[in-house]
Structure 1
């Protein structure tokens, strides 16, 4: 099928044959993942939208696509407005929109392996209020019309050694068992792919940019476990790594195993799809709804993971600095475009001989494309990097010892006074978060305003969260930690920050049609040793090492404390990266990080 209209028409024909008046298409998989394998890219196939968060609803005579503020521009570039109306979250949501379209007797289908129980309940209520019905569909109708749909990845699971994980899988499973005993439960279902990777110390290649394997798990109160994974993904080395207390079972057995489980079972309503709860209920299990017990210990990195992350950031910072030097030499010649820049940065990372993958598709935005928050360059959108314009590059890498995510904004030629003002306000927000000292129990939502204050002073803002959690050779977007205001495009922000959590610090500013700018480093929550302190305090330690473009900084807008931070940060960048750089890049770095 050559057009998205053809695909929608085929879907509508299929819905008619199933006596459905509509269908809901989320951007996720059976594990409620943010980034999904090619086989699960149903939303992109149907609509053309390539962001990492969104959903659509298709009715017989209309359709809508739902995205948050991060994708306001992108969705209009990628999705035909004649086929889909654009709906903005949180102003509206799928349930509310459907409720406004329904009439008595309408039947709206959904795939119970792609939605949470909470979504099903709220949407079913919105439809019931109009006399309509939400109907679980056994086989996804998109899969019936997507003729060349890719098969799930056949890549094998890979052992992640204790020397990198910092803790044996058996110890992690014993901690989960203790969690279950405290709740008088017999077992827990682990559905999130990064939780499975963490709990069993395995990694995979089933999802682009995220080193996880497609699997489900059941962990019991005696610390034994069943791992449900396609047999072709398993070899003798993996079996030896997992040990005798982990039984490997075919992924296709998972639903039947849930029905046979019985007893008291913990399931996380945020990561276990509705079909999991249906199967547990069918088998008579008593369900205890609680957070996935892997979530918090995965987020609070141990000493080995922290040292690995620091090593990865030094390595990655040297590669990024080599790129920045190259860019500074080449951009003014006029021959660069977004794709050339993204490819060259990846090349510098590959020259480390330790790159496993990028941690997400590089956001390489020249001029107005930089104002698209989650822009993805393609041959159709590729833009030349022009003189006297801003270039934004947001990128990251997966190394076996750590995951990176960093954004730098550069001026090619001479910035305008407005550009320098806006960039400096973004930098001030970044520094405010980086230097924050806060008491135990502080949530990310309480810190977010620090990043926005300087922009708010002049009536400006940005439509995304200030920070997200980052995994250890795992997901570049990791919960539960966030630095985000409600409605800022990221859920969460209400999780207390604890020692060992890694987050991004990435305020920005975006002028539609002209430019975008962001300063992003990763930061680590550490204890703050304050003489005379009457309670436990925390602060952040910056992990990312790369110069910030001083040509965009209006020094007069910075306080002395902010100038001191920038000078100290740049001195650290020089000291830690110079031994890894060739002579010409070292010389360039001295000037790029000069005191101001």
Structure 2
């Protein structure tokens, strides 16, 4: 099936006298998660990971993706014949390096500029001088005859008891950042949802909606299909100074602008950029709302802690029930994730998952972003490790948690790796740092216990988390390597970032320990202001996997204090039988 689709595309390339066609993992808004209409790369190649770029040429087909997806991509690309290009590997050329080597003189590369970022096209033109591009080609639709339509889900308006800040206040802050710049173009969906205190259902797991926004010092325009907007919400927005315009009209409006405009080059598509007249002065910078929404206000923090308590109760009840069940019967990955979802649905503010759950047993967990299917669904037995990475969208916040559960006997090596990954987690969780530190400054704390024994994980250590928004949010993160596409922002009070080091051994198992952490003030002295992290995930680590002899006294103290806090918060919501089991799960280690 996939091989035939690739061959169809190659035939079209030859008919149109084109060298190749690029298929990105994005939509018109540079979103990480996309609606079915934009899943062209998966349609052509079979690879379903959230990150990857497909290049189909008249001489071969190639897919670039990062280390999170190497194992998954190798499996999923078999049917298509597409060659995997492992990003970050020494011998693997980047996409642009490959094009520079492979494209011949007078050959032309095509792609749809609406799904390519301005920054990518700029880099492409800079790196390959004189490259011939055809930017208005949607060749996938010629093959994908039953392509889904764009969604028309209704939006909802959030009141201030949930947001903690009005639209007017947020617009005022944006306009202050604009200074004398006349316009600000917004295309990223989470920024728009945040700014206008709206949420939608267009994209699974992410409560956003397809839209654009154009802000001036006197006007705020929201470009959206008005079928999504109720009369009540329309009137409310208009009363707050927001004008609604048709979704597609953004392109024609941009052509009429004069003066100056502020935009984020990593978050607008190239088709938007070319609509801006050359006489308009363009200021390129991160969207002001990126940092605004990353620093949670007191209302958002209070609500987030409240829903983390609900999420913790759900996961702890699941953990108790599932580990008990596994003592005398088998289960499966799909059954386990359904059981966890049933406990989340019991929580009063739960809405939906915040991403596709990763419930991976034994060797399946070596794939960092594995997703169980009817075909891959593995039987779970009373042995080994089960990794569950999951989260929820709640009325009051977004959660993301990973726990690796021990289901019986463990090898000495598995217990060693389980404890080593926990040492990595504790090293980052317990740090106290001077104001001004960035995630890139602290990432090595989590990696050092692994690097000391020659191990590593091929991903960042942590990412920012949205508030009733995307589970992956910038600009805060933990990663050790410099990357122009990922800004390592200064860690500020109110930011929520995950801490999730892990160990992944192909064909054996995967281990990950993930909490969300809130950056808070610690103390001040003659050297400056110090900050620290407060864990806001309330679930114990499975002590059945811990070799306490490998932990230092400081690490044991951190773990015991954390487990005591978890017990105090969660136990009031457990019945007597659950509470007895939970005492064992959170008991002190010596």
Normalising TM by the smaller chain, what interval?
over 0.9
- Matched with 2:101 is 100
- Matched with 2:155 is 157
Following the alignment from structure 2 to structure 1, what is the Cα–Cα distance between the partners of residues 343 and 390?
12
Which residue, out of 419, 425, 443, partners 2:438? 443
- In the alignment, is the contact (CA less than 8 A) between 1:526 and 1:541 conserved in 2? yes
Following the alignment from structure 2 to structure 1, what is the Cα–Cα distance between the partners of residues 445 and 374?
38
- Matched with 1:52 is 50
Q: Does 1:209 align with 2:205?
A: yes
- Matched with 1:589 is 582
- In the alignment, is the contact (CA less than 8 A) between 2:22 and 2:55 conserved in 1? yes
- After TM superposition, list the pairs within 5 Å mapping 1:192-203 onto structure 2: 192-203=188-199
Post-superposition shift, 1:425?
Answer: 1.0
Post-superposition shift, 1:588?
Answer: 1.1
- After TM superposition, list the pairs within 5 Å mapping 1:172-321 onto structure 2: 172-181=170-179, 184-222=180-218, 224-244=219-239, 245-281=241-277, 284-321=279-316
- In the alignment, is the contact (CA less than 8 A) between 1:366 and 1:392 conserved in 2? yes
Which residue, out of 377, 389, 400, partners 1:394? 389
Q: Does 1:570 align with 2:567?
A: no
- Matched with 1:374 is 369
Following the alignment from structure 1 to structure 2, what is the Cα–Cα distance between the partners of residues 188 and 310?
33
User: 3-state DSSP class of the match of 2:379?
Assistant: coil
Q: Does 1:544 align with 2:537?
A: yes
How far does the alpha carbon of each residue in 1:430-458 deviate from its partner, in whole angstroms, 9 at most, with x for none? 11111111111101011111111111121
- In the alignment, is the contact (CA less than 8 A) between 1:444 and 1:493 conserved in 2? no
User: 3-state DSSP class of the match of 1:365?
Assistant: strand
Q: Does 1:168 align with 2:166?
A: yes
Following the alignment from structure 1 to structure 2, what is the Cα–Cα distance between the partners of residues 10 and 221?
49
Following the alignment from structure 1 to structure 2, what is the Cα–Cα distance between the partners of residues 281 and 332?
68
- In the alignment, is the contact (CA less than 8 A) between 1:209 and 1:361 conserved in 2? yes
- In the alignment, is the contact (CA less than 8 A) between 2:564 and 2:586 conserved in 1? yes
- Matched with 2:133 is 134
Following the alignment from structure 2 to structure 1, what is the Cα–Cα distance between the partners of residues 26 and 578?
42
Deviates more, 1:449-458 or 1:13-22: 13-22
- Matched with 1:322 is 317
Distance 1:491 1:461, change over 3 A: farther
Following the alignment from structure 1 to structure 2, what is the Cα–Cα distance between the partners of residues 82 and 25?
15
How far does the alpha carbon of each residue in 1:303-349 deviate from its partner, in whole angstroms, 9 at most, with x for none? 00001110010000000001101111112334211111111111110
User: 3-state DSSP class of the match of 1:427?
Assistant: helix
Post-superposition shift, 1:231?
Answer: 1.5
How far does the alpha carbon of each residue in 1:545-568 deviate from its partner, in whole angstroms, 9 at most, with x for none? 011110111101111111111111
User: 3-state DSSP class of the match of 2:385?
Assistant: strand
- Matched with 1:468 is 463
Following the alignment from structure 1 to structure 2, what is the Cα–Cα distance between the partners of residues 97 and 237?
53
User: Which segments of 5 or more consecutive residues in structure 2 lack a partner in the other structure?
Assistant: none
User: 3-state DSSP class of the match of 1:536?
Assistant: strand
Aligned length: 585
Following the alignment from structure 1 to structure 2, what is the Cα–Cα distance between the partners of residues 491 and 264?
24
Following the alignment from structure 1 to structure 2, what is the Cα–Cα distance between the partners of residues 190 and 317?
35
Post-superposition shift, 1:487?
Answer: 7.1
- In the alignment, is the contact (CA less than 8 A) between 2:257 and 2:277 conserved in 1? no
- In the alignment, is the contact (CA less than 8 A) between 2:77 and 2:83 conserved in 1? no
Post-superposition shift, 1:240?
Answer: 2.9
Distance 1:115 1:82, change over 3 A: closer
Which residue, out of 358, 363, 367, partners 1:363? 358
Post-superposition shift, 1:127?
Answer: 4.3
Following the alignment from structure 1 to structure 2, what is the Cα–Cα distance between the partners of residues 120 and 506?
33
Q: Does 1:494 align with 2:495?
A: no
Post-superposition shift, 1:89?
Answer: 1.4
Following the alignment from structure 2 to structure 1, what is the Cα–Cα distance between the partners of residues 485 and 313?
33
Post-superposition shift, 1:123?
Answer: 2.0
Post-superposition shift, 1:585?
Answer: 1.6
Post-superposition shift, 1:372?
Answer: 0.5
- After TM superposition, list the pairs within 5 Å mapping 1:343-358 onto structure 2: 343-358=338-353
- In the alignment, is the contact (CA less than 8 A) between 1:14 and 1:145 conserved in 2? no
User: 3-state DSSP class of the match of 1:241?
Assistant: helix
- Matched with 2:33 is 35
User: 3-state DSSP class of the match of 2:380?
Assistant: coil
Which residue, out of 430, 448, 458, partners 2:425? 430
User: Which segments of 5 or more consecutive residues in structure 1 lack a partner in the other structure?
Assistant: none
How far does the alpha carbon of each residue in 1:104-130 deviate from its partner, in whole angstroms, 9 at most, with x for none? 1111102111112221122234444xx
- In the alignment, is the contact (CA less than 8 A) between 2:365 and 2:386 conserved in 1? yes
Output the aligned Cα RMSD: 1.5
Following the alignment from structure 1 to structure 2, what is the Cα–Cα distance between the partners of residues 266 and 296?
15
Q: Does 1:520 align with 2:521?
A: no
Following the alignment from structure 1 to structure 2, what is the Cα–Cα distance between the partners of residues 277 and 82?
34
How far does the alpha carbon of each residue in 1:8-57 deviate from its partner, in whole angstroms, 9 at most, with x for none? 12222333343322100110111101111111111111111111111110
How far does the alpha carbon of each residue in 1:142-173 deviate from its partner, in whole angstroms, 9 at most, with x for none? 12221111111110111011110110011101
- In the alignment, is the contact (CA less than 8 A) between 2:296 and 2:494 conserved in 1? yes
Following the alignment from structure 1 to structure 2, what is the Cα–Cα distance between the partners of residues 574 and 493?
37
Moved over 6 A (4+): none
Deviates more, 1:360-369 or 1:243-252: 243-252
- In the alignment, is the contact (CA less than 8 A) between 2:155 and 2:199 conserved in 1? yes
Following the alignment from structure 2 to structure 1, what is the Cα–Cα distance between the partners of residues 329 and 133?
55
User: 3-state DSSP class of the match of 1:409?
Assistant: strand
- In the alignment, is the contact (CA less than 8 A) between 1:68 and 1:89 conserved in 2? yes
Post-superposition shift, 1:81?
Answer: 6.7
